Amino acid sequence: MKTINKIYQKKHELWLSILFASFAINDEAIKSRMYDFSQIAFRHMKWLGEQALEQGQEYNYDRDMVLLKRNTVFEIIEALQQDIKNIQQFYPDNILGERIKTDDAYLLEYLSQILKDDTNNQAVTAFNMQRKWEDKNLAQDQIDALTLFLFEESYKEYELILVYAYMQSRTKDVLHFNVFQDLIDESHFHLKSFGNMMAKLGILALPRELHAMTYIVKDLHQFVKDGIAEEEAAKVMCKELSDAIKDEELAKFFDFINYQESYHIELMKKLL
């Protein structure tokens, strides 16, 4: 029996598999294409969720996956091929299911093309735990601060993407829908930035799973107030990190993120 929860869970896991493959692979062309495919997979999740609600069913964000440490690009691609093949049996037998299957078929074709060129089979350094930032010689306390920030904030952005998507799919208010979309898009960009930074440091890891109480919001007003407080805390962390890291390029990046968080607070105030 293809329950909507099982279909949705498998798609959620595949989205993460494609997304984290894009973070792990160093080749910029492959990385970029893989990220595009991850965004398509996320839209599949959105559509599957909408279909579930139209049918009077619910879905959740449970998942049952691990991010295995692969050593080469081909190991990542071959594992991803298998994940895509395994999910096909779960898709619904309708127009949406056909759309998703044809998208997956093209992704499989793209992956097969990568495997035909041995020069693509580069080493993967995203899991090597070296904790070095490119060719910069950052002090250990700066690396420690950056590591802690990336683990905390990558979870926060993953959480926000899913929470806002959950709420967006259930609102009839156009203003709320648009604000949620802006916040989802911004969190995608932040998660992408932080995921790629974790891979550069050799510490790439999945964010922890969400508990249902995180995304089933009973009180929107309180949720938004808590969200604003969380964004304020993120701004403080960004400022501290910018001040602590003695690298102008990194410091400017965290200033940039800090200013974006300021606008997120203004967007959330619209929800109030």
Residue pLDDT, tens place only, 161-209:
999 999 999 999 999 999 999 999 999 999 999 999 999 999 999 999 9
The SS3 assignment for 148 reads helix
Residues 29 and 80 in one domain: yes
pLDDT tens string 65-121? 999 899 999 999 999 999 999 999 999 999 999 999 999 999 999 999 999 999 999
Write down which residue in 100, 124, 148 finishes a domain.
Answer: 124
Q: Final residue of a domain: which of 103, 124, 145?
A: 124
Task: For residues 270 and 140, state if they share a domain.
Answer: yes
Question: pLDDT tens digits, residue range 27-37?
Answer: 999 999 999 99
How many CB atoms are located within 10 Å of the residue 21 CB? 26
Q: H or E segment at 248?
A: helix 248-271
Whether residues 78 and 199 fall in one domain: no
Is the same domain home to 174 and 231?
yes
User: 111 and 139: one domain?
Assistant: no
The amino acid occupying position 208 is R
172 & 64 share domain: no
Q: What is the pLDDT of residue 223?
A: 85
State the helix-helix crossing angle for 140-168 and 174-201, rounded to 10 degrees. 150
Q: Domain check: are 95 and 204 in the same one?
A: no
Q: Are 218 and 166 in contact (CB under 8 A)?
A: no
72 forms beta bridges with 123
CATH code at position 267: 1.20.1260.10
pLDDT(2) > 80: no
For residues 46 and 130, what is the distance between their CA atoms, to the nearest angstrom?
Answer: 36
Task: Check residue 26 and give its pLDDT.
Answer: 96
For the entire predicted model, the pTM comes to 0.94
Same domain, 141 and 118: no
Burial of 197 (0-12, 13-18, 19+ CB in 10 A): buried
Domain interval for residue 4: 1-124
At residue 230, the pLDDT reads: 85
**Residues 156 and 254 occupy one common structural domain:** yes
Per-residue confidence band for 1, with pLDDT thresholds at 50, 70 and 90: very low
* 133 & 265 share domain: yes
217 pLDDT tier (thresholds 50, 70, 90)? confident
Q: Which of 237, 214, 229, 239 is nearest to 269 (CA)?
A: 229
Instruction: Indicate whether 22 and 65 sit together in one domain.
Output: yes
42-71 average pLDDT score: 94
Tell me how far apart the alpha carbons of residues 182 and 191 are, in angstroms, rounded to a whole number.
14
- The verdict on 202 and 250 lying in the same domain is yes
* Domains in the chain, number: 2
Q: Which of 124, 150, 167 is the last residue of a domain?
A: 124
